[in-house]
């Protein structure tokens, strides 16, 4: 066992001197990820919240034909700019981005209204313009409101109860709590945590086989009187250490950064207390030896450092496959799914953030299966170092 | 004492070593001489237990490389072909690491490393990161690493490759010194001058078969050639036909 420790210490120290690798594994990944995540989140939330009250600019051609409609729109926060566009000019103005949307009032608008027919309006908007689409939806909604109002008035004038025209009334009841609402957005968090964790150990995993071979240091290493699996165990241990470090840094960064995004302002609460952060780290930790052994195994079958990098970059996507699949088919966590490594960690992290109580059986199964798979992979990696083909 | 007994090694359809038997005695420098692709490296790799022979065995001080590889390895110092060292460790740390893997206690490996640094005249660069070292400095580091546990037997695969004249001379002096201390030194080379300048005993190998073993004089006499080089050419020529 002393050899395992010797290899571990040497690998840990050597990697510590690899400044650029260290920078990406322990600084950029764990810190930049959470920062970008929180930045994007805040931006999205602020826009979502802000949309309802910011003034809505609307260019209107021939507004004089519909003075009541314009008064209604102005009442509801629309800034009306009178313009003098014909159809072609309106199209061109929207397409060129000069106007976000143009409302054109037809010549017989008032006439059709007076006889109780549908009065024509044209709304020019660019559906491919994502930032403008919510604006045009608001305009359309306001016009629909105005239209419904007129309809009710018409019915009332004719002595008919307007409620007759509304046979069904749907009431939306939102049962989400502040915590569950934020989880919808924080769903990507567990993915980022797993990804950064794996990246933290990638360099060392490659180095254990492909790197040693390329440098020509593998053969001397294999001539020392130490059982070969002990050499690879030491290397996997060092990989684990860096992955655990990366995991801890990432989760800590998330906990701190999310504290400052102020999700509460938007009716969401992030349950990311130091206790939850610790629980997230502990529940993800069994995935560390699994990832380290898997990356070491894959790297051992490659012929060069470059090839190993290519394969491991692909391997980084593997833990995301169950996550993406679960998202697509709308899987909900239950006991059997806790037997799938990475998916179970995803569910457990999400549940923790929702402030739900985790069933002990879920935790036990997730930890147990993940560690069992890790043990199998480590044993397989140990066997690899006994293979001659490793020398390339 | 290193003894190879009818070693055979195949890689798929290719037989790299057909039948190699040789002895390298203590207190002698034995040269494994052969053209490129003769099976020199494969033979040495079986001797230092990185490859497992398909047939035959190798004894290191009487320990079987096949059945007790750990015991055999403990008695070997190895300088493999193009021996790489760890670029992020200093030369000294490279040596210390192998000292630890060889099971030396902390104080013992420090003392032994200091001794080797002095012996191989590495003081100037011993504490510099290995990434900046020259070819000769790297080789000395790798050599010190191979000697850290005071092995009785030393295996070197093409040790003079890529070295300048001064470095080659220093290496020769070191190998002679080790021989005089009673070590068994076995090295491979395809360079004639190298072998004739250094070896007490020569093993000529081609196409995975040992053609001759003996002192340079014996081999010359047996082939009826005027020089070892001519003897070598004749032997290889016979093997090629």
A261-270, B99-108, B228-237: which range is least confident on average?
A: A261-270
pLDDT over 90 percentage in chain A: 22
B85 to A217: CB separation less than 8 angstroms, yes or no: yes
Q: What pLDDT, on the 0 to 100 scale, is given for residue A365?
A: 95
- Has residue B7 got a pLDDT over 90? yes
Nearest to A212 by CA among A338, A339, A308, A319: A308
Query: pLDDT per residue over A8-19, tens digit each?
Result: 999 999 888 888
Average pLDDT over residues B23-33: 95
In this structure, are A117 and A151 located in the same domain? yes
Q: What pLDDT, on the 0 to 100 scale, is given for residue B94?
A: 96
Chain B partners of A10 at a C-beta cutoff of 8 Å? 86, 89, 97, 100
ipTM value for the complex: 0.92
Average pLDDT over residues A179-193: 69
Average pLDDT in chain A: 84
Residue-number span of the structural domain to which A205 is assigned: 2-46+178-391
Counted domains in chain A: 2
B84 to A220: CB separation less than 8 angstroms, yes or no: yes
In this structure, are A212 and A123 located in the same domain? no
Q: What pLDDT, on the 0 to 100 scale, is given for residue A357?
A: 84
Instruction: Give the closest-approach CA distance of B88 to chain A in angstroms.
Output: 6
Question: Are the C-beta atoms of B102 and A225 separated by less than 8 Å?
Answer: yes
In this structure, are A227 and A323 located in the same domain? yes
In this structure, are A189 and A140 located in the same domain? no
Query: Within a domain: residue A172?
Result: no
What is the band of A264 on the pLDDT scale with cuts at 50, 70, 90? Answer: low
Q: Tell which wins on pLDDT, A299 or B112.
A: B112
CA dihedral A118, A119, A120, A124 (to 10 degrees): -110
Average pLDDT over residues A84-107: 87
In this structure, are A184 and A156 located in the same domain? no
Residue B105 sits at the chain A interface (C-beta within 8 Å): no
**Which tokens go with B30?**
């034995």
Residue B98 sits at the chain A interface (C-beta within 8 Å): yes
Query: Within a domain: residue A173?
Result: no
| Residues carrying CATH 3.40.50.300, chain B | 2-75+153-240
Helices A360-384, A287-300: axis angle to 10 degrees equals 30
Query: pLDDT per residue over A187-236, tens digit each?
Result: 678 888 888 899 899 888 888 888 888 888 989 999 999 998 899 999 99
**Which residues partner with A252 through β-bridges?**
none
Which residue, A102, A130, A165, sits at the end of a domain? A165
In this structure, are A238 and A110 located in the same domain? no
CA–CA distance from A139 to each of A74, A129, A133, A260, A371 (Å)? 11, 15, 10, 35, 56
In this structure, are A246 and A99 located in the same domain? no
In this structure, are A387 and A285 located in the same domain? yes
A266-275, A287-296, A313-322: which range is least confident on average?
A: A266-275
Nearest to A42 by CA among A252, A194, A270: A270
Mutate to test the interface with B, among A18, A219, A223 (most CBs of B within 10 A): A223
Average pLDDT over residues A377-384: 89
In this structure, are A249 and A338 located in the same domain? yes
CA–CA distance from B240 to each of A68, B13, B208, B214, B237 (Å)? 107, 20, 12, 21, 5
Q: CA geometry: angle at A353 spanning A264 and A318, to 5°?
A: 125
Query: pLDDT per residue over B194-239, tens digit each?
Result: 888 889 999 999 999 999 899 988 988 888 888 888 888 888 877 6
Q: Tell which wins on pLDDT, B162 or A287.
A: A287
What is the band of A281 on the pLDDT scale with cuts at 50, 70, 90? Answer: very high
Query: Within a domain: residue A171?
Result: no
A319-328, B65-74, B225-234: which range is least confident on average?
A: A319-328
Chain B partners of A221 at a C-beta cutoff of 8 Å? 101
Give CATH for domain B2-75+153-240: 3.40.50.300
Question: Are the C-beta atoms of B74 and B149 separated by less than 8 Å?
Answer: yes
B70 to A217: CB separation less than 8 angstroms, yes or no: no
Nearest to A34 by CA among A257, A316, A345, A185: A257
What is the band of B33 on the pLDDT scale with cuts at 50, 70, 90? Answer: very high
Order across the sheet with A121-125: list the strands: A78-83, A56-61, A101-105, A121-125
Chain B partners of A222 at a C-beta cutoff of 8 Å? 49-50
CATH code of the domain covering residue A92: 3.40.1710.10
Residue B102 sits at the chain A interface (C-beta within 8 Å): yes
Which residue, A118, A143, A165, sits at the end of a domain? A165
- Has residue A389 got a pLDDT over 90? no
What is the band of A25 on the pLDDT scale with cuts at 50, 70, 90? Answer: confident
Query: Within a domain: residue A170?
Result: no
Hey, which bits of chain A come out as E strands? 56-61, 78-83, 101-105, 121-125
- Nearest CB to A219: which of B50, B88, B89? B50
In this structure, are A58 and A79 located in the same domain? yes
Q: Tell which wins on pLDDT, A51 or A103.
A: A103
Query: In 10 A of CB B16, how many CB atoms?
Result: 21
Q: What pLDDT, on the 0 to 100 scale, is given for residue A177?
A: 66
Instruction: Give the closest-approach CA distance of A306 to chain B in angstroms.
Output: 18
pLDDT over 70 percentage in chain B: 99
Is the pTM here over 0.90, yes or no? no
Chain Cα centroid distance, residue A123: 35
Determine which helix (DSSP H) or strand (DSSP E) holds B58, and give its type and residue range: strand B55-60
In this structure, are A86 and A227 located in the same domain? no
In this structure, are A215 and A252 located in the same domain? yes
B78 to A217: CB separation less than 8 angstroms, yes or no: no
């Amino acid at each position: 066992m002393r050899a395992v420790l010797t290899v571990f210490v040497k690998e840990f120290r050597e990697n510590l001197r690899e400044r650029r690798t260290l920078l990406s594994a322990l600084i950029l990944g764990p810190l930049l990820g959470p920062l970008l995540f929180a930045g994007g989140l805040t931006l999205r939330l602020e826009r979502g919240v802000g949309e309802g009250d910011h003034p809505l600019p609307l260019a209107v051609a021939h507004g004089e034909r519909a003075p009541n409609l314009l008064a209604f729109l102005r009442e509801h926060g629309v800034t009306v700019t009178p313009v003098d566009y014909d159809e072609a000019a309106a199209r061109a103005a929207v397409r060129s981005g000069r106007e976000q949307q143009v409302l054109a009032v037809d010549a017989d608008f008032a006439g059709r209204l007076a006889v109780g027919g549908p009065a024509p309006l044209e709304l020019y908007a660019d559906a491919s313009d994502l930032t403008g689409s919510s604006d045009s939806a608001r305009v359309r909604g306001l016009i629909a409101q105005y239209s419904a109002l007129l309809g009710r008035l018409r019915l009332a004038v004719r002595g008919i109860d307007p409620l007759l025209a509304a046979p069904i009334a749907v009431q939306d009841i939102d049962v989400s709590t502040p915590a569950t609402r934020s989880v919808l957005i924080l769903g990507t968090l567990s993915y980022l945590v797993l990804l950064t964790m794996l990246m933290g150990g990638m360099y060392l995993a490659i180095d254990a086989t492909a790197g040693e071979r390329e440098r020509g240091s593998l053969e001397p290493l294999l001539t020392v009187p130490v059982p070969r699996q002990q050499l690879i165990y030491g290397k996997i241990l060092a990989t684990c250490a860096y992955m655990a470090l990366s995991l801890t840094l990432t989760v800590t960064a998330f906990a701190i950064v999310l504290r400052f995004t102020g999700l509460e302002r938007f009716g969401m609460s992030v349950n990311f207390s130091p206790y939850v952060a610790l629980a997230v780290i502990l529940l993800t930790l069994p995935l560390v030896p699994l990832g380290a052994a898997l990356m070491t195994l894959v790297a051992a079958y490659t012929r060069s450092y470059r090839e190993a990098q290519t394969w491991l970059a692909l391997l980084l996507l593997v833990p995301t496959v169950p996550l993406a699949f679960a998202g697509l088919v709308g899987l909900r966590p239950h006991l059997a799914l806790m037997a799938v490594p990475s998916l179970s960690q995803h569910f457990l992290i999400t549940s923790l953030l929702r402030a739900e109580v985790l069933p002990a059986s879920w935790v036990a199964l997730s930890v147990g299966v993940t560690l069992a798979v890790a043990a199998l992979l480590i044993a397989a990696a140990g066997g690899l170092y006994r293979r001659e083909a490793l020398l390339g | 004492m290193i003894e190879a007994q009818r070693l055979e090694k195949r890689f798929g359809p290719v037989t790299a070593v057909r039948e190699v038997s040789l002895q390298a005695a203590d207190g002698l420098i034995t040269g494994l001489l052969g053209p490129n692709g003769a099976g020199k490296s494969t033979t040495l790799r079986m001797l230092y237990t990185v490859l497992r022979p398909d047939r035959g065995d190798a004894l290191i001080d009487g320990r079987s490389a096949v059945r007790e590889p750990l015991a055999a390895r403990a008695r070997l110092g190895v300088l493999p072909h193009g021996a790489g060292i760890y670029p992020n460790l200093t030369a000294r740390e490279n040596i210390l690491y192998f000292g630890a893997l060889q099971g030396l206690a902390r104080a013992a490996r420090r003392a032994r490393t200091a001794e080797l640094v002095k012996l191989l005249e590495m003081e100037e660069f011993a504490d510099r990161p290995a990434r900046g070292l020259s070819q000769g400095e790297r080789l000395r580091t790798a050599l010190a690493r191979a000697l850290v546990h005071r092995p009785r037997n030393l295996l070197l695969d093409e040790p003079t490759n890529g070295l300048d004249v001064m470095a080659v001379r220093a290496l020769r002096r070191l190998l002679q010194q080790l021989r005089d201390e009673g070590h068994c030194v076995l090295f491979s080379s395809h360079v004639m001058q190298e072998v004739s300048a250094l070896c007490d005993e020569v093993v000529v190998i081609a196409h995975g078969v040992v053609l001759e073993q003996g002192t340079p004089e014996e081999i010359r006499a047996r082939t009826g050639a005027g020089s070892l080089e001519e003897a070598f050419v004749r032997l290889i020529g016979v093997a090629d036909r």
